[in-house]
Chains A and B, each alone.
Chain A
């Protein structure tokens, strides 16, 4: 099928994230546009010569030949004559609250009320090029850039005021949207200072900004800037966009993956009033004046498909192990050897083997993929919820053979993504239909389409062979991960002899990024195995971890979570258990403790308490961060306990919320969160890492309570119990 090709970039999501697409460059359009859209005032352009920093951070082999990287426009900011500050960034808001946290960092450097700052985000005509919103990179990379642009604007305002008033710059104060000189009692609004002229300043990396210890606005909990739009239903998501003359589109889906069409009868659909069927090769879609009619028309199409036989979830893990694929040089990043496992084993006292599996799971963002496409005079505009608006622009330009300059992708803050909206399927489909019928077309995927034709978090099989000495020190660690990925694959524990390997496999389902990528899989396997080792040694699981750990930041979160739970005071009671797990990913440190209770009669397991400790450097918005941590934990509970994609012969068997069980109100135990604020360290993102330790902490607690060890996700601990 042409509509959702299984592209090999999805075979290993980490690799995909690093590669991303296209060469970084200034958006020419953005440069041209800002002269048009702006009146007088101050424009600060932030250019960076380390545009590839994001890539270098991630790994290696990304540097372009030639060494020198061009200066790249990566953010810009406009102080208008009314004193409003408009900030332009290619990042996208998907519920992770960066619209608010980025507003805060701007207000920190350019002190003005938060409601006079507006962020224009993810609009390929208006904002500088951005590779995409993933990998928790907004806080460590975009926040400092906006901070610098804002600081430069402040500097410029001070210089202007000093000239006008003929006073020393350092006697001038900028606060609350005003520039003032106390001694001479003069004060002007930001806008008044520029007197209608347009002042442009280009800045680079070397602008000084306020250190975290002195933050006034950043570092505090401020309310979500667009909360009012959300609670009133006024915010327009992509699926809410209306255009004049707009029609509603639908695409005919094959009965299974990798199908080919054998017969097609569109007669009935075509005779329905207002319906136009569009057929281009294997793409069959239609438009209708409303969704209801579009649905009925698509049902009226008779099609027969042929598809090869395909593996099912039952045989998945054997299949993954038996179907390796070429690593194309990238597997190396995840492979690690140290010492000699064979040698190390000779001096070990206890040996242990374990094999761990994780099912495919779906992101299931509550807003499914949606797009509105409109062609006008050879120029295409598409509104769509995506974490990579520029990537989707490229995808559209390629699909329709036009230059990127003639494509504009606008990303209205979307009904979330969790790593699941990196691609532009709905955008391409809506555009194809709009082009064929010469009208704007809206296309909203159904829940079933979202569950079937989007991509999944990779399933994985992880095999560990380890050994310890009788005194509790790790001796050897051999670790093989099939398919799930390389994120956090290296153990943070001290082990002299290691062999760690990632084995990419031929995934039967389309797979891609997911919140925190494979670190959830790797932390689950590792932290479960660590618990098994502690048990074999008859050692306290926390003590065993601390004994083998040097990383002070990871130790700190483990200790903080344990302390809040009351780990030391725990008594071994029957029917009650506690468990702990920790992990490091994307600059964040997470530890989770779980407490479970077992019903003595039904032996049903109930999670009674969760405690999380998280550290990600200097915190920008504590309440916003808490919200992300709670959300990650709750999402993580789904993958840990109940979520699994079932499939057979190219068909998803449970593409509905009634069959695919996600966490609901009644599943949520009390959650306590401890934030460790390290103002001395740069800020890292917090929307992903807090998901990593929840599953093993629950599994370890269940073991503590029942002696039953769960090595597969989802654990479904109550399956078959009443």
Chain B
């Protein structure tokens, strides 16, 4: 069903007209030119398309755009602020927690969501909440390290 709606993405508002069944990922990438979120499977299995919706990690590939009008959507593009990387982005760079980098945006969004509700996640907690994200290049151990390192940095900052 074709509908007009307003999307709140990062710090902007976008008026769009779209089929409500169209995936949020598709709208972000094609209509808003926010190509940081990636397509990896289209069935909620790989996490490459992860964005935050009202603070929760969601697979944008299986989220119909009609369901998220009026909600707060955050994508990877909003993580760097005034040239300053988010601590988790920094930790990814430092730990070189990537190879081809195609999973990276989704990993960071899932990781940020975790860190926002748990400042000191154990390894088990990290593994559990990240298990829906696939890195085909196999950088998992580095991603776990990067999340731990970012948690430490963020706790330090908070003190």
Q: Are A96 and B94 in contact (CB under 8 A)?
A: no
Cα–Cα distance between A235 and B37 once the two chains are bound (Å): 11
Residue on B nearest A289 in the bound complex, by CB: B30
Closest Cβ of chain B to A405, distance in Å, is 31
Cα–Cα distance between A415 and B41 once the two chains are bound (Å): 13
In the complex, chain A residues whose CB is within 8 Å of the CB of B30? 248, 290-291
- B75, B100, B127, B141: which contacts A233 (Cβ < 8 A)? B75
Closest Cβ of chain B to A161, distance in Å, is 36
Convert B25-69 into 0s and 1s, putting 1 for each residue whose CB lies closer than 8 angstroms to a CB of A. 010011101111111111101101000000000000000000000
Which residues 89-115 of B sit at the A interface, judged by CB distance below 8 A?
89, 92-94, 96, 98-105, 108
In the complex, chain B residues whose CB is within 8 Å of the CB of A223? 93-94, 96
Q: Are B89 and A627 in contact (CB under 8 A)?
A: no
Which residues 32-77 of A sit at the B interface, judged by CB distance below 8 A?
none
Cα–Cα distance between A656 and B99 once the two chains are bound (Å): 23
Q: Are B131 and A224 in contact (CB under 8 A)?
A: no
Report if A124 contacts B (CB, 8 A).
no
Q: Are B36 and A232 in contact (CB under 8 A)?
A: yes
Report if B5 contacts A (CB, 8 A).
no
In the complex, chain A residues whose CB is within 8 Å of the CB of B116? none
Report if A645 contacts B (CB, 8 A).
no
Closest Cβ of chain B to A560, distance in Å, is 20
Q: Are B93 and A665 in contact (CB under 8 A)?
A: no
Q: Are B96 and A227 in contact (CB under 8 A)?
A: yes
Cα–Cα distance between A664 and B131 once the two chains are bound (Å): 6
Closest Cβ of chain B to A228, distance in Å, is 6
Which residues 108-140 of B sit at the A interface, judged by CB distance below 8 A?
108, 126-128, 130-131, 133-140
Residue on A nearest B35 in the bound complex, by CB: A240
Residue on B nearest A624 in the bound complex, by CB: B96
Q: Are A665 and B102 in contact (CB under 8 A)?
A: no
In the complex, chain A residues whose CB is within 8 Å of the CB of B134? 366, 657, 662, 664
From known contacts A95-B100, A231-B89, infer whether A665 and B26 are also in contact, taking CB-CB under 8 Å.
Answer: no
Closest Cβ of chain A to B90, distance in Å, is 8
Q: Are A662 and B136 in contact (CB under 8 A)?
A: yes
Report if A630 contacts B (CB, 8 A).
yes
Convert A192-212 into 0s and 1s, putting 1 for each residue whose CB lies closer than 8 angstroms to a CB of B. 000000000000000000000
- A232, A240, A656: which contacts B89 (Cβ < 8 A)? A232
Q: Are B138 and A633 in contact (CB under 8 A)?
A: yes
Closest Cβ of chain A to B65, distance in Å, is 9
Q: Are A233 and B138 in contact (CB under 8 A)?
A: no
In the complex, chain B residues whose CB is within 8 Å of the CB of A366? 38, 40, 46, 48, 100, 102-103, 134-137
Report if B70 contacts A (CB, 8 A).
no
Report if A722 contacts B (CB, 8 A).
no
Closest Cβ of chain B to A328, distance in Å, is 34
Report if A414 contacts B (CB, 8 A).
yes
From known contacts A223-B96, A415-B38, A658-B45, infer whether A235 and B136 are also in contact, taking CB-CB under 8 Å.
Answer: no
From known contacts A95-B99, A292-B22, A664-B131, infer whether A367 and B38 are also in contact, taking CB-CB under 8 Å.
Answer: yes
Report if A140 contacts B (CB, 8 A).
no
- A231, A446, A633, A657: which contacts B45 (Cβ < 8 A)? A657
Cα–Cα distance between A97 and B85 once the two chains are bound (Å): 22
Count contacts on A: residues with CB < 8 A to the other chain. 60
Residue on A nearest B45 in the bound complex, by CB: A657
Please report the number of residue pairs spanning A and B whose Cβ atoms sit closer than 8 angstroms.
174
Count contacts on B: residues with CB < 8 A to the other chain. 59
Q: Are A631 and B42 in contact (CB under 8 A)?
A: no
Cα–Cα distance between A227 and B76 once the two chains are bound (Å): 14
Closest Cβ of chain A to B45, distance in Å, is 4
Q: Are A291 and B43 in contact (CB under 8 A)?
A: no
In the complex, chain A residues whose CB is within 8 Å of the CB of B41? 447, 656-657
In the complex, chain A residues whose CB is within 8 Å of the CB of B128? 666
In the complex, chain A residues whose CB is within 8 Å of the CB of B19? 292-293
Cα–Cα distance between A236 and B137 once the two chains are bound (Å): 18
In the complex, chain B residues whose CB is within 8 Å of the CB of A444? 39
Q: Are B45 and A627 in contact (CB under 8 A)?
A: no
Closest Cβ of chain A to B38, distance in Å, is 7
- A226, A292, A414: which contacts B26 (Cβ < 8 A)? A292
Q: Are A415 and B100 in contact (CB under 8 A)?
A: yes
In the complex, chain B residues whose CB is within 8 Å of the CB of A634? 138, 140
In the complex, chain B residues whose CB is within 8 Å of the CB of A664? 131, 133-134, 140
Q: Are A95 and B133 in contact (CB under 8 A)?
A: no
Q: Are B99 and A97 in contact (CB under 8 A)?
A: yes
Q: Are A233 and B77 in contact (CB under 8 A)?
A: yes
Report if B79 contacts A (CB, 8 A).
yes
Report if A413 contacts B (CB, 8 A).
yes
Cα–Cα distance between A664 and B45 once the two chains are bound (Å): 11
Cα–Cα distance between A234 and B144 once the two chains are bound (Å): 23
From known contacts A415-B38, A446-B42, A657-B43, infer whether A95 and B137 are also in contact, taking CB-CB under 8 Å.
Answer: yes
Report if A144 contacts B (CB, 8 A).
no
From known contacts A291-B26, A662-B134, A662-B136, infer whether A233 and B102 are also in contact, taking CB-CB under 8 Å.
Answer: no
From known contacts A447-B43, A666-B131, infer whether A631 and B79 are also in contact, taking CB-CB under 8 Å.
Answer: no
Report if A623 contacts B (CB, 8 A).
yes
Report if A242 contacts B (CB, 8 A).
yes
Q: Are A416 and B96 in contact (CB under 8 A)?
A: no
Report if B142 contacts A (CB, 8 A).
yes
Q: Are A663 and B138 in contact (CB under 8 A)?
A: yes
- A94, A224, A233, A447: which contacts B36 (Cβ < 8 A)? A233
Q: Are B136 and A656 in contact (CB under 8 A)?
A: no
Q: Are A447 and B33 in contact (CB under 8 A)?
A: no
From known contacts A230-B98, A239-B39, infer whether A364 and B144 are also in contact, taking CB-CB under 8 Å.
Answer: no
Q: Are B137 and A232 in contact (CB under 8 A)?
A: no
Residue on B nearest A634 in the bound complex, by CB: B138
In the complex, chain A residues whose CB is within 8 Å of the CB of B93? 223-224, 227-228, 231
Convert B72-94 into 0s and 1s, putting 1 for each residue whose CB lies closer than 8 angstroms to a CB of A. 00011101100001000100111
Report if A237 contacts B (CB, 8 A).
yes
On B, residues with C-beta under 8 Å from A are 19, 21-23, 26, 29-31, 33-43, 45-46, 48, 75-77, 79-80, 85, 89, 92-94, 96, 98-105, 108, 126-128, 130-131, 133-144
On A, residues with C-beta under 8 Å from B are 94-97, 223-224, 226-237, 239-240, 242, 248, 290-293, 364-368, 413-416, 418, 444, 446-447, 623-624, 627-628, 630-635, 656-658, 662-666, 668, 670-671
Ranked 10 nearest A-B pairs via Cβ: A233-B36, A95-B100, A634-B138, A415-B102, A230-B101, A233-B76, A95-B99, A657-B45, A631-B138, A416-B100
Between A and B, 5 residue pairs with Cβ closer than 8 Å are A232-B89, A365-B102, A366-B48, A663-B138, A663-B140
